[in-house]
């Protein structure tokens, strides 16, 4: 268990407080888990079947103890039933984003296979240097190129995936594979809950503490923004990354969801991720704020200097920001979305959220969920979109 959480259990008063919160969070989590396929995955695992090594002992009259179950059946986030070991010792994670969830839930030391995209992350190298000892099984962006032969040789107890073709191929190789793909905040909650369930009780304790933080942050923002009329909300353009300023995120996405949670409105009316727009559409959208996903200060300055953007309100007012990236980018498919909603609310509405100390929030998150004692300077660098020194 992470140092910070473990210390809480060792202190009597804090332990009682934590368990009270645990019960409250558990009740809220079952309400929030949502309906449909994703929720079925969580509940099937919680109440599903477990298999022992000797089924013949069931119903015996001699009082012999039933052998401890060695496998259990869960339903993944695509609705597939998967039989997995009850105890997970080794993990292969073929989805860049989900590696962050594994680390956050205290199972980083069980990772034996990861992706190139995740492994080369600058902040991952600082927070979890052991990542350099983990085998790289996926190269390239998106689903990437997967080395299934190497994955098989590692004999993982479980493989996490997001792409349906990768999932099918991994299963053909005989790998125990769980698809954990999601597209929104409800899916993120289900992803964390299911992963924690698979990993065991300590991970479930951490997951509940994470959901408590997410709830507190989203509730705080919603309370302060509830009376703002739609016409008065900040119009936001979210650029996917600093490599292509004309590729943006539209509506019906997790990006659109945190924009709305933070009290803004998406400047793009189309639905979907990674939408290509023209210069005319940029001018027509005329956002109040521009956010560059995984951006850097240099990329912010380059956009401001680009003649295609000089007539845009956000550029004229200096409201162009690099979205922070930590162990994984805050703005998409990450448990660090718990920080994103606060950061975005403060960026869009600085006066309303002037009391929010993001340096303090970042340090708290990293200590609690990674056991990493971040300095003020490091937190400020992360918030500015800078790489660690």
CATH assignment of the domain containing 368? 3.40.50.1980
- Rounded Cα distance between 28 and 211, Å, is 9
Position 33 scores a pLDDT of 37
Regarding whether 120 and 252 lie in a shared domain, the answer is: no
Regarding whether 175 and 77 lie in a shared domain, the answer is: yes
- Which DSSP state fits 71? E
Regarding whether 268 and 191 lie in a shared domain, the answer is: no
- Please report whether residue 40 resides in a domain: no
* E runs forming strands in 111-241: 111-115, 135-139, 145-146, 158-161, 177-179, 234-239
- Please report whether residue 213 resides in a domain: no
Regarding whether 308 and 241 lie in a shared domain, the answer is: yes
Regarding whether 280 and 163 lie in a shared domain, the answer is: no
- Rounded Cα distance between 343 and 362, Å, is 10
Regarding whether 269 and 341 lie in a shared domain, the answer is: yes
Regarding whether 235 and 183 lie in a shared domain, the answer is: no
- Please report whether residue 158 resides in a domain: yes
What's the sign of the alpha-carbon dihedral 301, 331, 324, 227? positive
Which residues, given as ranges, of the chain have pLDDT below 70?
A: 1-67
Position 14 scores a pLDDT of 37
- Please report whether residue 144 resides in a domain: yes
Domain count of the fold of the chain: 2
- Please report whether residue 61 resides in a domain: no
- Rounded Cα distance between 292 and 323, Å, is 6
Regarding whether 258 and 180 lie in a shared domain, the answer is: no
- Which DSSP state fits 323? P
Regarding whether 369 and 284 lie in a shared domain, the answer is: yes
The strand order across the sheet containing 50-52 reads 50-52, 69-75, 81-85
> Which of residues 163, 185, 200 is at a domain's end?
200
- Please report whether residue 111 resides in a domain: yes
146 φ/ψ angles, rounded to the nearest 5 degrees = -105, 130
- Please report whether residue 218 resides in a domain: no
- What tokens were used for 298? 């240099």
> Which of residues 200, 216, 251 is at a domain's end?
200
Q: Within 13 Å, how many C-alpha atoms sit on residue 13's CB side?
A: 0
Position 67 scores a pLDDT of 64
The domain in which residue 247 lies consists of: 229-384
Regarding whether 263 and 192 lie in a shared domain, the answer is: no
> Which of residues 200, 217, 238 is at a domain's end?
200
Regarding whether 300 and 261 lie in a shared domain, the answer is: yes
Contact criterion met (CB below 8 Å) for 242 and 292: yes
- Please report whether residue 192 resides in a domain: yes
Regarding whether 235 and 191 lie in a shared domain, the answer is: no
């Amino acid at each position: 268990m992470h140092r910070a959480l473990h210390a809480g259990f060792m202190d009597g008063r804090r332990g009682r407080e934590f368990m009270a919160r645990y019960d409250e969070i558990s009740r809220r989590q079952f309400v929030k888990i949502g309906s449909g396929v994703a929720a079925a995955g969580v509940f099937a695992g919680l109440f599903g079947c477990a298999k022992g090594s000797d089924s013949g002992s069931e119903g015996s009259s001699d009082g012999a103890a039933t052998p401890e179950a060695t496998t259990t059946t869960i339903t993944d986030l695509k609705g597939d039933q998967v039989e997995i070991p009850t105890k997970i010792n080794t993990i292969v994670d073929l989805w860049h984003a989900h590696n962050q969830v594994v680390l956050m839930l205290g199972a980083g030391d069980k990772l034996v296979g990861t992706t190139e995209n995740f492994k080369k992350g600058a902040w991952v190298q600082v927070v979890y240097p052991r990542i350099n000892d983990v085998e790289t099984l996926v190269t390239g962006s998106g689903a990437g190129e997967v080395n299934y032969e190497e994955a098989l040789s590692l004999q993982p107890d479980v493989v996490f995936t997001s792409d349906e073709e990768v999932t099918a191929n991994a299963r053909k190789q005989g790998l125990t594979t769980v698809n954990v793909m999601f597209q929104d905040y409800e899916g993120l909650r289900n992803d964390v809950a299911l992963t924690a369930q698979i990993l065991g009780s300590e991970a479930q304790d951490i997951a509940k503490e994470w959901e408590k933080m997410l709830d507190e942050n989203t509730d705080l923002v919603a309370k302060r923004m509830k009376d703002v009329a739609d016409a008065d909300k900040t119009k936001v353009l979210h650029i996917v990354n600093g490599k292509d300023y004309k590729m943006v995120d539209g509506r019906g996405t997790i990006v659109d969801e945190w924009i709305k949670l933070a009290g803004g409105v998406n400047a793009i009316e189309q639905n979907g991720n990674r939408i290509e727009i023209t210069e005319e559409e940029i001018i027509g959208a005329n956002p109040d704020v521009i956010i560059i996903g995984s951006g850097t200060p240099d990329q912010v300055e380059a956009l401001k200097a680009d003649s295609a953007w000089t007539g845009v309100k956000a550029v004229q007012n200096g409201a162009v920001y690099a979205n922070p990236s930590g162990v994984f980018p805050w703005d998409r498919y990450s448990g660090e979305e718990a920080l994103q909603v606060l950061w975005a609310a403060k960026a869009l509405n600085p006066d309303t959220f002037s009391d929010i100390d993001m340096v303090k929030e970042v340090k708290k998150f990293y200590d609690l969920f990674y056991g990493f004692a971040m300095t003020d300077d490091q937190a400020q660098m992360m918030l500015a979109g800078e790489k660690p020194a």
